[in-house]
Each structure stands twice: as structure tokens, then as C-alpha cells.
Copies of this chain bind each other. A is one copy, B any other.
Amino acid sequence: MRLLVVGSVAYDSVETAYGKVDRALGGSATFFAMASSLLAPTHVVAVVGEDFRPSDMARLQARGVDTSGIEVVPGETFRWGGVYSQHFETRTTLFTELNVFSDFSPRVPPQHRSAELVFLANIHPALQYEVLDQVEKPKFVALDTMNFWISGERDALVKVLGRIDALFLNDEEAYALSGVGNLLMAARAIQKMGPKTVVIKRGEHGAVLFHGDTIRHTPALLLDTVRDPTGAGDTFAGGFMGYLATQPEINVAALEGAMVMGTLAASVSVEDFSVDALERADLKSILSRQKTLQTLSLRAELDEAALLAR
């Protein structure tokens, strides 16, 4: 199945305890597509400025990403700058320059409207809604959002939630969106707002899948090198949706596999700045991490009868 992603292609300036980069390739659609394209044909709809380096467009294309939906318009590319605390507990945004992104009105090229899977990366919920008006009956639509829209554009967000299958967000965003201060109850409340599937992204702590009454958790890999977590959430979503695109049916088993693939892809992404580590990795090297993830997840069954008989 084919994937359509609508989001940002950007230039990031990032500083962590392990180094810094300036004007490095980033953006939600970029990270997503660098992961998803390993598994499924991926079409990106985004906008960049005339400063966008052809070499960066070539990097996406070399991965097999269909960039025909990336408009190049006069002006500068969306730029974001941030600095992380020593152990990545907090991230401080230094600047956000929307530039050409401020007038972004996503137009899905006709040849991409029949994509079976759609990922609406973190953009204004009204634009996410507009995308859904342009696509033809996708099998599965997932959406990412952030506190900025949850608090500032709640009505527009609630409207689009009624039309999607899956929502990706973190703990804090789940509390804010649901108004409920307990993750389990928050996820249940969000499911009632529309998405049958809710994925809570917990960074270094892994991710939790809520799908109907099913709840599944996967840890993140423990890595000996983490240099830059920027884009990890979008890379996770890329692995997740890319895997779903390989499956004949989107059921619990497919979603479980998607959680694993998202986790493996994100574990690669954070090992270097920008998309550098992701770009160096191929599907085989990413899949080779599966064994480590399986070993990490503790599988023990206590002998209830023996313990109670004591």
C-alpha cells in the first residue's frame, strides 16, 4: 500500500551535550518519510523555500521518496532552532521561523489522492482537515499534534479527530486534550473523540498502544549513543505507518508489529543529528535490532500456585 504524508520539510539548528548542527535537514515529513520509505512507497506533500538545497531534495529521492508534492516557492524554508538539556529531559526552542510554511495550504497532487495510508504530521488542524477533503477513502489515517494546537485550536482539532483512525501524542498532550489526569483514562476519553487507535509516545520510555480495548507497551531500546532526539517521534510514526502499509489488514497484530518497527526506526534516528543515522541505515540494519528489543522485554511468569502454597 502507498503512504501519503503531509507535514514540514525544514532546516533545524540543534544543540545537545553531544554536539551541534546548523541548518540541518529536518521537519516532521522528512523524518517520517526517511523511515516509512524503507517499507512502502511514500509521497510527501510539503513546502520549502528557494534556499532549500537540491542536495537535500536528492537525499529524499535517493531513499525512494516521491518528492513531487514538495512545492518550492519564493522565500525561505521553515527553520527551527532548539537546545536540549544534558540528559534530554527538556528542550528549549530558541527560534521558530515559519517562513514559506506560514502560507502553506497543502495541495495533494491528483496521483497521490488514492494513497491507502495517510499521515497528517503536526500542522494546523484546519490544514489537516483540508487534506482529508482531498484524499479518496484512505484505509487508515493517522495524525500527530501538539499542545500549541490542543490549547489554541481545540475546535478545529476536535473536528479533525472525528475523521481519523489513529492519534499520536505524548503524555502531557493526552492530559491536555482529554482534561483527564491519568493516562489510561485520558486515552479512553480520546478514543471517544474519534480515533480508535491512540499511540502515546514516551520518548526514552517507549510507547503505549491503545486500540479498542487492547493496550500494549513497548520499551525504547537502551542505546550507548544518543546524540539528538529531534524527529524521533516522526521517525517512530514513519516506521509505524510504513509497517502497516506492508500488512494485508490493519488489526491488532499489524499494529503490534508497527509499534516494533516504529521503535526500531526511532532508535536509529536518535544516534546522530538530523536524519544522518537514519540515512545511513537500511531496512536490514534496522531490523537487526529486533533481537535486542525482544531480549529487553522481560518475559517472566510467576508460579502463582507455588507462591500461594507457601
Number of copies: 2
User: Could you tell me the distance in whole angstroms from the C-beta of A254 to the nearest C-beta in chain B?
Assistant: 9
Q: Which A185-229 residues sit within 8 Å CB-CB of chain B?
A: 185, 202, 204-206, 208-209, 215-219, 222-226
Would you list 12 pairs from A and B whose C-beta atoms are within 8 A, ordered by A residue?
A17-B181, A87-B172, A184-B224, A202-B205, A208-B222, A216-B296, A217-B222, A217-B296, A257-B300, A260-B302, A284-B308, A287-B308
Which A residues have a C-beta under 8 Å from some C-beta of B?
17, 39, 86-87, 171-172, 175, 181-185, 202, 204-206, 208-209, 215-219, 222-226, 243, 246, 253, 256-257, 259-261, 283-284, 287, 290, 294-302, 304, 307-308, 310
Closest to A259 in B: B298
Are B175 and A87 neighbours in the complex by a CB distance under 8 Å?
Answer: yes
A86 to B287, CA, bound (A): 39
A206 CA / B208 CA spacing, docked (Å): 12
Contacts of A297 in B (CB 8 A): 216-217, 297-299
Q: Which chain B residues border A296 with CB–CB below 8 Å? A: 215-217
